[in-house]
Amino acid sequence: MDAVRLTDHVERGLTLRVTVRNPPSENVYGFPVAVSGTLVLMRAVYDYQPWGWVAVPPGNVAAFRSGRFERFAERVLAGEGVAAKRCPAWLGTSSLAALLASLMKRRRNVVIETAAVAARAAPGETRFYLGRIEAVGLSHVSMRTVNGLGRWARRATRIRVDDICLVQFDDPYTRAFSKYAPYPGG
């Protein structure tokens, strides 16, 4: 990963396409808003519309592209009124752990993808954790998950921070799911 080029994109408000290693062949398109040694945070864009936030650990970035296709897309986005946006001040961006801790503090439901979950998922099956972070430690995050039927697990799942491939939040999927499967106890 070229942190200098990514930081330049943050400062200039340019878009890019990030190809992640795990899950394989997944691309994230949008505006990078923060870069650190343990995360690349992007305001994701899908079909020229804002699509929440995505954080990818730099080690999971297989490649990124920012060229003529992205410059054209920026013209479309500008015409549609979609622009680079600063991340909220409450959002921790110094590290992946800081990001997770700030999401826990704000009681946000999130999607966390790990290579292990993606690898063991059958075609068409869930390949991520969806839920609320209950604790963040140096090496693990504890997350109370919700299944596809809207049922919350009784106990938290421990996820190794080093195993996290992608974190997604404040996106239409997570917001809609959270609306119809509210966190127990508020």
Write the pLDDT tens digit of every residue in 7-66: 888 888 889 999 998 876 689 999 999 999 889 999 999 999 999 999 999 989 998 899
Task: Name the percent of the chain lying above pLDDT 90.
Answer: 66
Sheet holding 157-160, edge to edge: 61-65, 16-20, 27-35, 40-46, 49-56, 164-169, 109-114, 129-136, 140-145, 157-160
Q: What is the mean pLDDT of residues 61-83?
A: 92
CATH code of 43's domain: 2.30.30.600
On whether residue 186 sits in a domain, the answer given is: no
Helix H, strand E, coil C: the string for 107-165 is CCEEEEEEHHHHHHCCCCCCCCEEEEEEEECCCEEEEEEECCCCCECCCCEEEEHHHEE
At 150 the pLDDT is 93
- The pTM for the full model equals 0.91
On whether residue 15 sits in a domain, the answer given is: yes
On whether residue 111 sits in a domain, the answer given is: yes
Q: What is the mean pLDDT of the chain?
A: 89
Respond yes or no on whether the N-terminal peptide bond of residue 32 is cis (omega within 30° of 0): no
Backbone angles phi, psi at 13, to 5 degrees: 70, 30
On whether residue 185 sits in a domain, the answer given is: no
Q: Evaluate if residue 1 carries a pLDDT over 60.
A: no
The tokens describing 160, both together, are 């190794």
| Number of domains, the chain | 1
- Nearest to 137, CA basis, from 163, 101, 170, 165: 101
On whether residue 98 sits in a domain, the answer given is: yes
Count CB atoms within 10 A of the CB of residue 22: 23
Assign 67 a pLDDT band (cuts: 50, 70, 90).
very high
Task: Name the percent of the chain lying above pLDDT 70.
Answer: 95
On whether residue 155 sits in a domain, the answer given is: yes
Assign 125 a pLDDT band (cuts: 50, 70, 90).
low
Beta bridge partners of 56: 40
On whether residue 153 sits in a domain, the answer given is: yes
On whether residue 143 sits in a domain, the answer given is: yes
Range of the domain at 74: 3-180
Q: How far is 109 from 170, CA to CA, in rounded Å? A: 8
Q: How far is 26 from 18, CA to CA, in rounded Å? A: 8
